[in-house]
Amino acid sequence: MENVHTTRCGLFLLFVLQDTFAIAEVVNISINKTAIQTDTSGNGTADLAVDGVISGGTCAQTSSALASWEVDLGDFYVIDNVLVHPKPDEAPPAAQWVQSVGGFSSEYSSAGWSAQKIVGPPNVYPLYGDIVESWSPYYKDSNQFIELEFATSVYVGQVDIYETFHAGGVKAIKCYQAGQWVTLWSTALVEDLSIARIFSPPLQVTDCFTNMIRLELDLTVANTFVEIDAVQIHGVSQTSTSASDFIELFTGLSQDLYHKKGSLSTGEAPLNFTMNEETIARWVKVTSDVDSILAICEVEVMGYIPTKGLFRSFSKYQCAGTPIITHYGIQSNIRCARLCFLQIVPQCHSAQYEKASLQCTLYEGFDTAAGSTGRVMIVHSYAAPLLD
């Protein structure tokens, strides 16, 4: 009679196991969950790291260093591993020519040698001469200037001035930042050189973020017209701090209770944080280091919902008989249930979990003894009626 009962259970078990495997499949559980970050650079909102798009420019990005990004998974999951896809380093933008003229002291005329002639790439250089396609101030004094606008704000690293008639008259290069003109370079000694040249003096300030440059000219040494054909700027956009070279990963049962799970350098993508112990969490957090922003295109949290409903635990029993195996260092009865679930040959039908010793012992049968404090007997839920 007992044998028949066991056989019928075994057939039923096969059916249940197939069903359970489907439920316990490890999948990306972070997609479209609620994400937040310390702050946002441009359009790089936190949700773009859980939109399911790994490449193609949907990336979360902070503007501050020592930043963090967090996702609320919405429920407690068993996390197997977390894949973080950092944003690839951005190529610096192409150098920019002048897009428009914001203001100027004077121009030779509104046609030839007008201020407008400084817009765009060179029309005169490498020629040298008094040629109408360059800007020339009208007055030959030391108070001449022109203010130039570029399409994209950058941290200006280099300014190239295409001088095509009486070079050497530029006395200062300034950038517009936070409501004022900041001097990038200046000299007290202007020159008069009868050459065409690209003048790119080393800048004294390289952290000015702007799309407006001002040139100040002194024409008194040349004492004739000084002509500038074009101006080009070089610099990086977005941020002065680069994306983090290494990131740290945390998991949390709540937003206030995180545990560090590891740190990896961002050299190889994606970064795979494998949980080396049973990790049940609702929150996942990624942080950057002290002098770097966070820029991540996707965080894939690979896990599954604990199969709570498919197992039941009883404190009034403990297992008896000969164990299949004992696992040590097991953090939860849910993990113990999963180990039973994964034990196929021989088949695990019940398990005993002891919280104090973190031991999980697997059994083939349902033999029981009276329960003892701190031990629970875990069985597939289909078998619970045997014990109720």
Q: Which is nearer to Ca ion, 213 or 297 (CB)?
A: 297
Q: Which is nearer to Ca ion, 122 or 270 (CB)?
A: 270
Give the C-alpha separation, 166 to 221, whole Å: 10
Q: Which is nearer to Ca ion, 29 or 233 (CB)?
A: 29
CB of 45 to Ca ion, least distance (A): 10
Question: Is residue 58 involved in binding Ca ion (CB under 5 A)?
Answer: yes
Question: Is residue 53 involved in binding Ca ion (CB under 5 A)?
Answer: yes
Q: Which stretch binds Ca ion (CB under 5 A): 14-22, 40-48, 68-76, 250-258?
A: 40-48
CB of 91 to Ca ion, least distance (A): 19
Q: Which stretch binds Ca ion (CB under 5 A): 46-54, 220-228, 326-334, 370-378?
A: 46-54
Q: Which stretch binds Ca ion (CB under 5 A): 37-45, 49-57, 142-150, 255-263?
A: 49-57
Question: Is residue 298 involved in binding Ca ion (CB under 5 A)?
Answer: yes
3 state SS for the chain: CHHHHHHHHHHHHHHHHHHHHHHCCCEECCCCCEEEECCCCCCCCHHHHHCCCCCCCCCEECCCCCCEEEEEEEEEEEEEEEEEEECCCCCCCCCEECCEEEEECCCCCCCCCCHHHHCCCCCCCCCCCCCCCCECCCCCCCCEEEEEEEEEEEEEEEEEEEEEECECCEEEEEEEECCEEEEEEECCCCCCECCCEEECCCCCCCCCEEEEEEEEECCCCCCCCCEEEEEEEEEECCCCCCECCEEEEEEEEECCEEEEEEEEECCCCCEEEECCCCCEEEEEEEECCCCCECEEEEEEEEEECCCHHHEEEECCEEECCCEEEEECCCCCHHHHHHHHHHCCCCCCCEEEEECCCCEEEEECCCCEEECCCCEEEEEEHHHHHHHC
Q: Which is nearer to Ca ion, 51 or 72 (CB)?
A: 51
Question: Is residue 114 involved in binding Ca ion (CB under 5 A)?
Answer: no
CB of 58 to Ca ion, least distance (A): 4
Number of residues lying near Ca ion (CB under 5 A): 6
Give the C-alpha separation, 184 to 77, whole Å: 54
Q: Which is nearer to Ca ion, 51 or 364 (CB)?
A: 51
Q: Which is nearer to Ca ion, 48 or 378 (CB)?
A: 48
CB of 173 to Ca ion, least distance (A): 40
Candidates 146, 105, 152; CA nearest to 228 is 146
Question: Is residue 147 involved in binding Ca ion (CB under 5 A)?
Answer: no
Residue 3: phi and psi, rounded to 5, are -65, -45
Of residues 60 through 79, those in contact with Ca ion by CB under 5 A are none
CB of 273 to Ca ion, least distance (A): 18
Question: With the CA atoms of 26, 32, 34 and 36 taken in that order, what torsion angle do they form, in degrees rounded to the nearest 10?
Answer: 100
Q: Which residue is nearest to Ca ion (CB)?
A: 58
Q: Which stretch binds Ca ion (CB under 5 A): 137-145, 156-164, 167-175, 292-300?
A: 292-300
| Structure tokens, 232 | 């080009």
CB of 60 to Ca ion, least distance (A): 7
Question: Is residue 350 involved in binding Ca ion (CB under 5 A)?
Answer: no
Q: Which stretch binds Ca ion (CB under 5 A): 41-49, 180-188, 197-205, 322-330?
A: 41-49
Q: Which stretch binds Ca ion (CB under 5 A): 56-64, 320-328, 335-343, 350-358?
A: 56-64
Q: Which is nearer to Ca ion, 69 or 113 (CB)?
A: 69
Q: Which is nearer to Ca ion, 44 or 169 (CB)?
A: 44
Q: By CB under 5 A, name the one of 51, 72, 80, 289 that touches Ca ion.
A: 51
CB of 237 to Ca ion, least distance (A): 20
Where on the chain is the footprint of Ca ion (CB under 5 A)?
Answer: 48, 51, 53, 58, 297-298
